[in-house]
Amino acid sequence: MGRKWNNIKEKKASKDANTSRIYARFGREIYVVAKQGEPDPESNRALKVVLERAKTYNVPKAIIDRALEKAKGNSDETYDELRYEGFGPNGSMIIVDALTNNVNRTASEVRAAFSKNGGSLGVSGSVSYMFDSTSVIGLVGKSAEEVLEILMEADVDARDILEEDEAVIVYAEPDQFHAVQEALKTAGVTEFTVAELTMLPQNYVAIPEDSQAQFEKLIDVLEDLEDVQQVYHNVDSEE
């Protein structure tokens, strides 16, 4: 199951930090989640999860505070949560999650990204059934055996616990995200290298060398779209 999550996160954060896209995306997500419930993480579990995720990407406090204040105010700005599913080269499968205040614009941009870069947009459910929604939480300083013992003592379930690149990565159900973190914090863990809610493919595919550049461009174009929050795929990109 392991996909070298620390390397993936660092690569993505490095790419996004250059244009502050990751900050804008977290700001948008924090606003939406806070607006849907309460702008207080102690009473809004979904907001607490988003803030924990933002912490691992070093999102500035000013960005977070601005989003929370906007949610507390009288802003009538609304966003729709959208999911697009499609296909890339060599049978690759792609999921695109977006938050948008203009559904027509987002649909047009996502469709164009697929069609102009060797992909095709599918119908709802055509891809997502091959992925599992998963909590991915990483830490250093403890062994996989120690983490397993901590979670067992706290009566917290995990799908898998693996050692990857000198870190321990916990894979768990989405609703166990907070429970895993709290158990580890209680055991003395103060920092997480990864804290994500993601879509993990059940199977991976390899892209032929002559199609790799096209696939990478498709993913880059999708990730560059302003309304896109996350892009998931089933291509084995481990080096």
Question: Which three-class secondary structure string do you get for the chain?
Answer: CCCCHHHHHHHHHHHHHCCCHHHHHHHHHHHHHHHHCCCCCCCCHHHHHHHHHHHHCCCCHHHHHHHHHHHHCCCCCCCEEEEEEEECHHHCEEEEEEEECCHHHHHHHHHHHHHCCCCEECCCCCCHHHEEEEEEEEECCCCHHHHHHHHHHCCCCCCEEEEECCEEEEEECHHHHHHHHHHHHHCCCCCCCEEEEEEEECCCECCCHHHHHHHHHHHHHHHHCCCEEEEEECECCCC
Residue 155, judged by CB atoms within 10 A of its CB (0-12, 13-18, 19+), counts as exposed
Helix axes 45-56, 177-186, angle to 10 degrees: 60
Query: To the nearest whole number, what is the mean pLDDT of the chain?
Result: 90
Q: Could you give the angle at the alpha carbon of 18 between the alpha carbons of 133 and 189, nearest 5°?
A: 50
Q: Is the pLDDT of residue 16 over 70?
A: no
Whether the CB-CB separation of 143 and 170 falls below 8 Å is answered with no
Looking at 1.10.8, 3.30.9, 1.10.10, 3.40.50, the CATH number of the domain 5-72 comes to 1.10.10
Q: Is the pLDDT of residue 19 over 60?
A: no
Domain ranges across the chain: 5-72, 80-129+202-233, 131-201
- Domain 80-129+202-233 identical in fold to domain 131-201: yes
* Cα 156 to Cα 41: distance, rounded to the nearest angstrom: 21
* Cα 110 to Cα 83: distance, rounded to the nearest angstrom: 10
Confidence bin at 9 (pLDDT 50/70/90) = low
pLDDT for position 239: 46
Residues 173-185 have pLDDT tens digits of: 999 999 999 999 9
* Class (C level, CATH) for 80-129+202-233: alpha beta
Looking at 2.60.120.1440, 3.30.70.980, 3.10.520.10, 3.40.50.360, the CATH number of the domain 131-201 comes to 3.30.70.980
Whether the CB-CB separation of 162 and 194 falls below 8 Å is answered with no
Q: Is the pLDDT of residue 37 over 70?
A: yes
Lowest-confidence pick of 126-135, 161-170, 212-221? 161-170
pLDDT for position 90: 87
The predicted model gives 184-197 an average pLDDT of 93
pLDDT for position 232: 95
Report which of 169, 82, 172, 162 is spatially closest to residue 128, judged by C-alpha positions: 82
Lowest-confidence pick of 18-32, 55-69, 104-118, 166-180? 18-32
Q: Are strands 160-164 and 167-172 parallel, antiparallel or unpaired?
A: antiparallel
pTM of the model: 0.89
Give the pair of three-digit tokens for residue 51. Answer: 């803030």
Beta bridge partners of 163: 168
